[in-house]
Structure 1
Amino acid sequence: MPHIAWIGKKSPFCGNVTYGLTITEALRQRGHRVSFIHFDSGDSWPDVALPYLVKSQVYTIPSPGAQRELRDALARLQPDLVHASLTLSPLDFRLPDLCQQLGLPLVATFHPPFDAGLRHVAAGTQQLTYQLYAPALARFDRVIVFSQLQAGILERLGVPAERLAVIANGVDVNRWCPARNAPAAGAAGRGPESRDQQLDQRLGRERLFVYMGRIATEKNLEALLRAWRLVRPRGCRLVIVGDGPLRSALEPASPEPDVLWWGHEPDEATRIALLQRAEVFILPSLVEGLSLALLEAMACGAACVATDAGADGEVLEGGAGIVLRTQGVTTQLRTLLPLLRDQPVLTAELGRRARQRVLERYALTGSLSQLEGLYSALLSRRPVPERSAPGPLWGLPLA
């Protein structure tokens, strides 16, 4: 099995963090050796910590010595391949030169959300990110994207098609599953009965509509809140799980009985339990990549409503959910919320179809097999590097 040096994030919580932790854990379970290199402060053994100046859910600014420490770590670890889950950091642009001089194949996963229609300011901003990254991505050995739409954008910006690999996000369908399919109580060893009691106390008895994700401009949560407050569907409660820069502006000073601001939830088992209780999951984003939260909600059997931003429309097309346009989300939801409230048979059927779609197209096992195939193809074409300590990387800036 090859030794993979994984460069990514472990905090703060975001889709990139979930992706990196999920994939590396699964690779280890399949027998791969994985060394995790990420931005952190202090000692993070057995991981490798890189120093940083600023780290957020969206971008990272490394310390001046981070590149030198990364080079030293790769020389010490001597991996067979480097996989960078790109963190929107200046260090991303140095990786092709660094890995080329160390003789290491380099794979990237490119996460930034997009809207192929460029229908909003947020979409235009993300397009600039793609334009900025494209020349560097063209120098990676492979760039993993989550959909053909995303690959098409990068091809138009000059990234060769042969360097792009479409591997969709995957979900562990045995872990993220409807409550009726969940392991027996006590199997996880974390007190599920106590967790259920706490959830009962906090959630109440209403039917649950859930949003889970960052509370930021591109997620368009304002549109969902406007629609909810206009409709106020009786017997229903909107649960907002997550945190972000807009929370303080959107969360009212006085509590609303039918809107629960849950906040950031670090415990995966609790997030699973929340989605298992959700009758409807709503994602009103202006831009997206391929939302892991959406796939997790689908796997848990929630009826899913999402915009056609990024690849989310592809995920739900053909009856696996309800697809909204990114323009006029409030108006669309104002019409849709009463229907979802009054038609529990419809939401149950949509939840069944959502789960089936994930089983057919987005199971983690399939994504991992594609990833392993990509690794094997790259390693089979590369000579085995000499395992002596490398000399200075002449011409490569060390700052």
Structure 2
Amino acid sequence: MVQIAWLGKKSPFCGNVSYGLSTTEALRQRGHQTHFIHFDTPLSPERGTASLLGNDPDVSLPYLVKSQVYTIPSLGAQRELRDSLERIKPDLVHASLTLSPLDFRLPELCQQLGVPLVATFHPAFDADAGLRNLSAGTQQLSYQLYAPFLARYDRVIVFSKLQADILIKLGVPAKTLSVIPNGVDTARWSPAGPSANALLQKNVRQRLGGERIFLYMGRLVTEKNVEALLRAWRLVSPEGCRLVVVGDGPLTSNLQNQFSDPQILWWGYEPDLDTRIALLQCAEVFLLPSLVEGLSLALLEAMATGTACVATDAGADGEVLAGGAGIVMSTQGVTTQLRTLLPVLRDQPVLTAELGRRARERALERYTIGTNIDAIEKLYRDLLDDFRVAA
């Protein structure tokens, strides 16, 4: 078994947080010892030092700013990280990159400590824009900024071949990159069945109302392009259907004021996992109008619950739904495309049921957490073998 120092995020909630928590939990279930090093308000001197006490495997690092997108650590964070790694003495470090200055210092630090270093690189991308013009857009700039440093990591996990191709074009060695798609627990994220929490399902359904449910779940930020979905919904106003928006973000107030409509339910951020599962189980259609993505965990979760999925081809999402597992839109003209699609989805419940069945089937075939962890374990074994040979 491998002892892993996992550097990542536990808050605020985002795809990176979901990835880190689900992956470390699955690794622990397979017997690996995982120390979760994350940015959090440091404990006071009266309460002791940052975690590594007793049986608590987690370590807190101080920070100045922490958001869903980036983290600015405190001046002492690098020293605390080094001290923590020296105490833990891990077999390897796995950094679920948090868009923090520490990301750039990790290769040198781990080299000094003689510890192999793995990264998971999350930033979203528009594959077409990335391959066409690598200087265009914030996401492409982050790829340009990170590429020289990723080249110094021992292994870098990305979610799709498209993402790997962009990094190779920017100078990251192909041998460094491993394509390992996100995975979800398809036993837990599953269609509602006899084992479902009946009371929870009833409470969620009562709040949703009796209409057929079309659902968006994610952050309310510019790159998610939720405004395009809301414009299309207002234009179509599909009878007997309700749009449910689950999540929050900097655009929440503006969107709520602009699109006040009894057909739209602003659910807000939902911290409870079982409730999020119940919401997707109650939904007939999941909508993801993003301009840029990596590989959306929310999309995979919707697929696993058997919900019909409509998403743009941003990042790897189009690849996930290709071949009939869902409906794939272009990132350009989302409102126009949805204005055509929403009436079809409203009028064809047999179609949405079939799309949901195919989505679940695709998730079981390619995107389970078990398959994901198998690939990560193999990467760990191969990397550690290489280090032993080099030593």
TM-score, normalised via structure 2 length: 0.94
Q: 1: distance between equivalents of 2:382 and 2:355? A: 39
Q: Which residue of 1 aligns with 2:190?
A: 177
Partners of 1:93 and 1:168 in 2: how far apart? 24
Aligned partner (choices 273, 280, 302) of residue 275 of structure 1: 280
Q: What code does the residue aligned with 1:136 have?
A: F
Whether contact under 8 Å (2:135, 2:141) holds in the other structure is: no
Structure-1 residue corresponding to 2:83: 72
In the other structure, the counterpart of 2:46 is none
Which residue of structure 2 lines up, in the alignment, with residue 57 of structure 1? 68
The alignment of Structure 1 onto Structure 2 pairs a total of residues equal to 378
Contact 1:223 1:284 in 2 (8 A): yes
Query: How far did 1:199 drift?
Result: 1.0
Query: Structure 2, unaligned stretches of length 5 or more?
Result: 44-49
| Pair 1:98–1:254, CA change in 2 (3 A) | closer
Q: Per-residue CA shift, 1:136-170, capped at 9, x if unaligned?
A: 00000000000000000000000000000000000
Letter in 1 for 2:245: I
* C-alpha contact 2:134 2:140 (8 A) present in aligned 1: no
Deviation of the 1:383 alpha carbon: 3.4
Structure 1 residue 385, shift from structure 2 partner:
12
How far has the Cα of 1:253 moved from its partner? 7.5
State the match for 1:228 in structure 2: 233
Q: Partner letter of residue 24 of structure 2? A: T
The aligned residue for residue 246 of structure 1 is: 251
Please tell me whether the aligned partners of residues 115 and 123 of structure 1 are also in contact (alpha carbons under 8 angstroms). no
Structure 1 residue 366 and structure 2 residue 371: aligned?
A: yes
Distance 2:3 2:134 in 1: 42
**More deviation, 12-21/251-260:** 251-260
Whether 1:93 aligns to 2:93 is no
Q: Is the 8 A contact 1:6 1:37 kept in 2?
A: yes
Percent of residue pairs identical: 72
One-letter amino acid of the counterpart of residue 29, structure 1 = Q
Distance 2:135 2:15 in 1: 18
Question: TM-score normalized by structure 1?
Answer: 0.92
Alignment of 1:48-197 (within 5 A): 48-118=59-129, 124-180=137-193, 184-185=195-196, 192-197=197-202
- The letter of the residue matching 2:178 is A
1:114/1:123 contact within 8 Å kept: no
- Residue aligning to 2:23: 23
In structure 1, the residue corresponding to 2:354 is in which secondary structure? Answer: helix
Shift of 1:5: 0.3
**CA apart distance, 1:125:** 1.1
- Which runs of 5 or more structure 1 residues have no equivalent in the other structure? 186-191, 387-399
In the aligned structure 1, how far is the partner of 2:8 from the partner of 2:96? 5
Higher relative contact order (CA 8 A, sep 6+): 1
Q: Which amino acid is 2:170 matched to? A: L
Change (3 A) 1:384 1:8: farther
Superposed displacement of residue 193, structure 1: 3.3
Within 2, Cα distance between the matches of 1:196 and 1:255?
A: 26
Distance 1:163 1:291, change over 3 A: same
- RMSD of aligned Cα (Å): 1.8
**Contact 2:5–2:93 (CA under 8 A) maintained in structure 1:** yes
Look up the SS of the partner of 1:251 in the other structure. Answer: helix
Whole-angstrom distance in 2 between the partners of 1:19 and 1:166:
15
Report the Cα offset of residue 93 of structure 1. Answer: 0.1
Contact 1:51–1:63 (Cα < 8 Å) also in 2: yes
- Structure 1 residue 201, shift from structure 2 partner: 2.1
Query: What is the CA distance between 1:197 and its match in structure 2?
Result: 2.8
Deviation at 1:196, TM superposition (A): 2.2
Instruction: Report the Cα offset of residue 282 of structure 1.
Output: 0.4
Corresponding residue SS for 1:196: helix
Instruction: State the alpha-carbon separation in 2 of the partners of residues 57 and 121 from structure 1.
Output: 24
Task: Give the CA deviation at 1:255.
Answer: 4.9
